[in-house]
Structure 1
Amino acid sequence: MQAPGPHLLQFLNGVRTLGFLDFVGKQWREHGDVFQVRIGRRTLVFAMHPDVVERVSVSHRQNYEKLGSYDSVRKYLIGNGIVASNGELWRRQRKLMAPFYTPKGVQAYAELMIRDGARLVERWEALASKGTEVEIAEEMTNVTASIILKAMFSTETMESIHQMKDAVETMLSFVNDQMAGPTLPMWLPTSKNRKYLAAREMVHRSIRALIAERRGTDEAQWPDDLLSRLMKARDDETGQAMSESLLRDESITTFFAGHETTARTMTFAWYALATNPKVTERLHEELDRVLGGRTPTTNELRQLPYTLQVIKEVLRLYPAAPFYARDVVTADQFGDFDVPVGATVMLSPYFTHRHPQFWENPEGFDPDRWTREREDARHGHAYHPFAAGQRICIGNNFSLLESHLLLAMLAQRFTPRLRAGFAPRWSMQGTLGITNGLPMVIMPR
């Protein structure tokens, strides 16, 4: 049986008038946990129930791949990077890279996270003394970009960091435009096309130069960063190293995935704290009791469980990736509904995390959902901010460590305050965002 859903004109008009997120939420309320829409020859199947997340990601994962729905990402941004690759290439790359991103592996980058966090503390101290208003998303993007570029390439100069950040964000914006609808062909010398091509050339040229520089020196002198680890990695069976194009693609993937999503999480954390004063009070109590104004060590993070609970609740209510796609390669069923070959399944952390069957007061911000007892009692796939199964985001441990450290360092000293009367306008353009920014005044505690 075919799943219900709006016809194409309803879908296009609804997205235009309500925005993608609100329109999809309206369809969920009207049609239930599985509904679909046909866009030309393409069928999108939206699925909100955690049982479907489990089916697509774990028990029937062989029926799904990352095919046409990732073409624009592959072509214009990350090539064959691990986010978009498939089959044997994905399995080999995942095996090679997984040791770098274990909870133990990411500890190697805690020191630079703390160092960049301390620089932001200094900046905010100066801003707080003047009552300066800032765009908090830009503050968070700058610090997470600096951290991932240092972790990836040992890049230290702010000029290089800003150049790479701006170029990759230009590429990402171009990809979002390509995925949103019809665009002009690349051979036309439009300003948007020229800007994208210049940004891509700058990124590719920079990475080629870094690789060449390292290959021209003794391996013993290489810095212990992610690029060196990628260059040294060898396939267990063949002894094969990554090609230069794969090193480039994985480097871009790491930067794209490693700074934007964490920046969004931290941005939304400040919004959540500014609008939930009782949560902020409990957070401050824990930070004061454990740290007493000191910079946290990684060992002390274990004594800051409520701080991590705040991060997890931010990821629940405001997941940076509100949807992710899987393409159907073998026909399947979701309950009574047929899922045909060639369809694209849209899984949604944003709406699964709001499912009233699995979340009490789903729109409320409540870090106490993340006590061990309540977490263990919950459906195993009701929460999937980093996707699920074998293709869960490889950088999830890096992101959680970074968010935990940054929130602990900044929240014990500052309480950013929203501009009076401000109301965010949430939207989705690839990632979850706020179209009118997030202006906040940095206030000392």
Structure 2
Amino acid sequence: MRATRVPARRFIGMVRRDGFLDATGDLWRAHGDAFDVRIGSQRLMFLMHPDAVTQVNMTARDSFTKGKSYDGVRAFLIGEGLVGSTGDLWKRQRKLMAPFFTPRGVRAYSEIMLQDAIRLSERWDALADSDGGVDMSDEMTLVTASIILTSMFSTATTDSIVEIKDAVAEMIRFSGDTVKVIRVPLPVPTPRNRRYLAARALVHGTIADVIATRRSIDEADWPDDLLSRLMLARDPATGEPMSETLLRDESITTFFAGHETTARTLTFAWYALAANPEARARLHAELDAVLGGRPPTADDLHDLPYTLQVVKEVLRLFPAAPFYARDAISDAEVAGITVPERTTVMLSPYWTHRHPEFWDHPDRFDPDRWGGRQEADMHSHQYHPFAAGPRICIGNSFSLLESHLLLAVLAQRFSPRLAEGARPRWHMHGTLSFESGLPMRIERR
């Protein structure tokens, strides 16, 4: 069985007119769960059924890798960091880093998350006495950047957080643009190249300085942060530590993957709560009943199930990574579809999470989908906001803990609403976001 072929001219025209996200959704509704397009030498195949998610990520995973689709992000952003590495390097790094990111392992950072959430709460308290206007995208990006940098390096300052956040954002833009525009060689001093090189030099230099400072003191005095754990990790087969380059690449990868997607999730949460007063009221009622006005701790979270259900439903409707790619290294059969070698398969949490065969009223924000029999009866991969299988995002437990805690701290005191006249527009540039931010007003409950 073959996927429906979409003419390249039609596909490109739809993407230019409607954007990648809406174009692929229209093609899915028109052609079903499998369609492909050939653009030059590249063949893209879109597979939307949960069975395809299972097979590409698990049962047929030996036929797929993170190949050419990740060349840009490897070359210009994360190097050989875990998100883009493959083969034996990925297996070794994943095994070394996995213990740091288990549900139990990430609780070591809950106090940092709480402290940053409380500082933001104090800022919002002051804002509520003024005009209360914020760009919620910026608010969530700054707090999650602070959390991950402090978790990684212990000594992050407000100025360094903003500086590194902006530099990594520039690197992300550049690595994403390389698949869309003709890239002028880096030595050519175009404005775009100069911005990228300056950002990369700042990020690489900052990490190198932190590592050098760490190595200049006795190991017994190293802080218990992610960088120390990476520096102390040893390959069980060889006893070798990570190289300086790999330490840098994993640090960039952790920062990139550890704050941007969570920032998006929290931004979307405020948008969803503003638009769904019944869910907002239930969230507030749970927080009031359990916390009684005091700040939560990590131990409180199991008594805040509806708060987590809100997070899960946000991740269903608004997954920060709406698509992810896998490159076929051999012919494969996936969900009854022939996938030829050298095909790039595009899997879509965004559209699979809206599949009408697996979700009742799929476009409705409904946190009650989670936590009961409905969740227990789900297809194992109709929900995959962090991808799936062995290459599921290693930071998923960190992100869920962070989102759960920050939402609990902030929502018990505040109920942000959309700024008057705001008409947020979705935009996909690698990750899902609002085209011009999310203007909101901070209001106390």
Q: Into which bin does the TM-score normalised by the smaller protein fall?
A: over 0.9
2:3 equivalent to 1:3: yes
Displacement after TM superposition at 1:421 (Å): 3.3
2:40 equivalent to 1:36: no
Query: Do the aligned residues in 2 keep the contact of 1:321 with 1:385 (CA within 8 Å)?
Result: yes
Tell me which residue corresponds to 1:221: 221
Query: Structure 1 counterpart of 2:253, which letter?
Result: T
Tell me which residue corresponds to 2:265: 265
Output the CA distance in 2 between the equivalents of 1:167 and 1:26.
35
**Consecutive unaligned residues in structure 1, runs of 5 or more:** none
Tell me which residue corresponds to 2:99: 99
Q: 1:16-165 maps to which residues of 2 (within 5 A)?
A: 16-165=16-165
Query: Do the aligned residues in 1 keep the contact of 2:55 with 2:335 (CA within 8 Å)?
Result: no
Query: Do the aligned residues in 2 keep the contact of 1:155 with 1:161 (CA within 8 Å)?
Result: no
Displacement after TM superposition at 1:436 (Å): 2.5
Output the CA distance in 2 between the equivalents of 1:186 and 1:131.
44
Tell me which residue corresponds to 2:317: 317
Query: Do the aligned residues in 2 keep the contact of 1:415 with 1:443 (CA within 8 Å)?
Result: yes
Give the SS at the match of 2:37.
Answer: strand
Displacement after TM superposition at 1:186 (Å): 1.9
2:305 equivalent to 1:299: no
Output the CA distance in 2 between the equivalents of 1:33 and 1:424.
29
Query: Do the aligned residues in 2 keep the contact of 1:3 with 1:35 (CA within 8 Å)?
Result: yes
Give the SS at the match of 1:180.
Answer: coil
Query: Do the aligned residues in 2 keep the contact of 1:20 with 1:427 (CA within 8 Å)?
Result: no
Query: Structure 1 counterpart of 2:202, which letter?
Result: M
**Consecutive unaligned residues in structure 2, runs of 5 or more:** none
1:86-113 Cα shifts (integer Å, max 9, x gaps):
0100000000000000000000000010
Query: Do the aligned residues in 1 keep the contact of 2:56 with 2:334 (CA within 8 Å)?
Result: no
1:183-223 Cα shifts (integer Å, max 9, x gaps):
33322211111010011011111111111111111000001
Query: Structure 2 counterpart of 1:272, which letter?
Result: A
Output the CA distance in 2 between the equivalents of 1:214 and 1:142.
25
Query: Do the aligned residues in 2 keep the contact of 1:5 with 1:31 (CA within 8 Å)?
Result: no
TM-score by length of 1: 0.99
Query: Do the aligned residues in 1 keep the contact of 2:51 with 2:335 (CA within 8 Å)?
Result: no
Displacement after TM superposition at 1:243 (Å): 0.4
Query: Structure 2 counterpart of 1:287, which letter?
Result: L
Tell me which residue corresponds to 2:210: 210
Output the CA distance in 1 between the equivalents of 2:234 and 2:196.
33
Output the CA distance in 1 between the equivalents of 2:183 and 2:2.
31
2:208 equivalent to 1:187: no
Query: Do the aligned residues in 1 keep the contact of 2:167 with 2:199 (CA within 8 Å)?
Result: yes
1:295-351 Cα shifts (integer Å, max 9, x gaps):
001111000000000000000000000000000011012344321110100000000
Q: 1:245-394 maps to which residues of 2 (within 5 A)?
A: 245-394=245-394
Output the CA distance in 1 between the equivalents of 2:206 and 2:336.
52
Tell me which residue corresponds to 2:231: 231
Output the CA distance in 1 between the equivalents of 2:336 and 2:400.
38
Give the SS at the match of 1:179.
Answer: coil
Give the number of aligned pairs.
445
- Indicate how the Cα distance of structure 1 residues 335 and 220 shifts in structure 2: closer, same or farther if over 3 A, else same: closer
Tell me which residue corresponds to 1:402: 402
Query: Do the aligned residues in 2 keep the contact of 1:140 with 1:267 (CA within 8 Å)?
Result: yes
TM-score by length of 2: 0.99
Query: Structure 2 counterpart of 1:70, which letter?
Result: Y
Query: Do the aligned residues in 2 keep the contact of 1:101 with 1:398 (CA within 8 Å)?
Result: yes
C-alpha root-mean-square deviation of aligned residues, in Å?
A: 0.9
Output the CA distance in 2 between the equivalents of 1:35 and 1:186.
36
1:341-393 Cα shifts (integer Å, max 9, x gaps):
10100000000000000000000000000023211100000000000000000
Give the SS at the match of 1:43.
Answer: strand
Output the CA distance in 2 between the equivalents of 1:206 and 1:168.
12
1:248-269 Cα shifts (integer Å, max 9, x gaps):
0000000000000000000000
Query: Do the aligned residues in 2 keep the contact of 1:151 with 1:226 (CA within 8 Å)?
Result: yes
Output the CA distance in 2 between the equivalents of 1:372 and 1:95.
33
Give the SS at the match of 2:21.
Answer: helix
Query: Do the aligned residues in 2 keep the contact of 1:131 with 1:443 (CA within 8 Å)?
Result: no
Query: Do the aligned residues in 2 keep the contact of 1:331 with 1:340 (CA within 8 Å)?
Result: yes
Percent identity over the alignment is 61
Give the SS at the match of 2:4.
Answer: coil
Output the CA distance in 1 between the equivalents of 2:219 and 2:205.
22
Query: Do the aligned residues in 2 keep the contact of 1:327 with 1:345 (CA within 8 Å)?
Result: yes
Give the SS at the match of 2:146.
Answer: helix
Bigger Cα displacement from structure 2, 203-212 vs 50-59 = 203-212
Output the CA distance in 2 between the equivalents of 1:227 and 1:388.
26
Bigger Cα displacement from structure 2, 138-147 vs 212-221 = 212-221
Displacement after TM superposition at 1:427 (Å): 1.7
Give the SS at the match of 1:338.
Answer: strand
Output the CA distance in 2 between the equivalents of 1:336 and 1:81.
34
Bigger Cα displacement from structure 2, 128-137 vs 38-47 = 128-137
Give the SS at the match of 2:387.
Answer: coil
Output the CA distance in 1 between the equivalents of 2:213 and 2:437.
39
- Indicate how the Cα distance of structure 1 residues 105 and 335 shifts in structure 2: closer, same or farther if over 3 A, else same: closer
Query: Do the aligned residues in 1 keep the contact of 2:128 with 2:442 (CA within 8 Å)?
Result: yes
Give the SS at the match of 1:134.
Answer: strand
Output the CA distance in 2 between the equivalents of 1:123 and 1:156.
19
Query: Structure 2 counterpart of 1:285, which letter?
Result: A
Output the CA distance in 1 between the equivalents of 2:358 and 2:299.
33
Query: Do the aligned residues in 2 keep the contact of 1:214 with 1:222 (CA within 8 Å)?
Result: yes
